[in-house]
């Protein structure tokens, strides 16, 4: 008997955020904030998950997930995130950086991103992240 699968796009829930954070890390393995400063990718996850929880809590950040449904089993296989609406003020994000991480390098990369964002007229981390945050990733 053959089985079929369906791809469902739905609003993300808070329970989806751990998978979304892992997608971001796995989909961008050469990004300087992922590939360089961490002793291992689990350290990156300890920073990325709180970042996504913060974004998810903001009324002007929106998330969708792509969910594959096959034989009554559901698996998230991708996500989209975007910023929408007029006035919004991004709260500070000051994560606990694991001791094994290269904090100086993280500071340098984030500083360079801030310079680049100002040149683009983008303010805050949330303003830049959605420019490239649609991922379909299959482990």
- Give per-residue pLDDT as tens, 63-87: 999 999 988 889 888 898 888 766 6
Q: Coil, strand, or helix at residue 19? A: helix
Which percentage of the chain shows pLDDT scores above 70? 80
Q: Coil, strand, or helix at residue 21? A: helix
Domain that holds residue 73: 5-136
Helical H runs in 1-137? 17-27, 32-35, 41-57, 103-120, 125-128
Record the pTM. 0.74
Q: What is the domain count for the chain?
A: 1
Please tell me the predicted confidence (pLDDT) of residue 137. 42
Please tell me the predicted confidence (pLDDT) of residue 1. 53
Please tell me the predicted confidence (pLDDT) of residue 134. 43
């Amino acid at each position: 008997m053959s089985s079929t699968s369906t791809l469902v796009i739905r609003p993300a829930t808070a329970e989806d955020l751990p998978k979304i954070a892992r997608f971001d890390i796995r989909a961008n393995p050469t990004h300087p904030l992922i590939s360089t400063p961490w002793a291992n990718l689990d350290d990156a996850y300890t920073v990325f998950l709180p970042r996504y929880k913060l974004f998810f809590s903001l009324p002007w950040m929106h998330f969708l997930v792509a969910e594959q449904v096959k034989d009554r089993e559901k698996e998230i296989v991708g996500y989209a995130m975007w910023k929408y609406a007029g006035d919004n003020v991004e709260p500070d994000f000051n994560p606990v950086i694991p001791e094994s991480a290269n904090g100086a390098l993280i500071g340098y990369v984030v500083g360079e991103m801030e310079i680049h964002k100002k040149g683009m007229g983008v303010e805050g981390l949330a303003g830049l992240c959605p420019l490239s945050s649609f991922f379909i990733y299959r482990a």
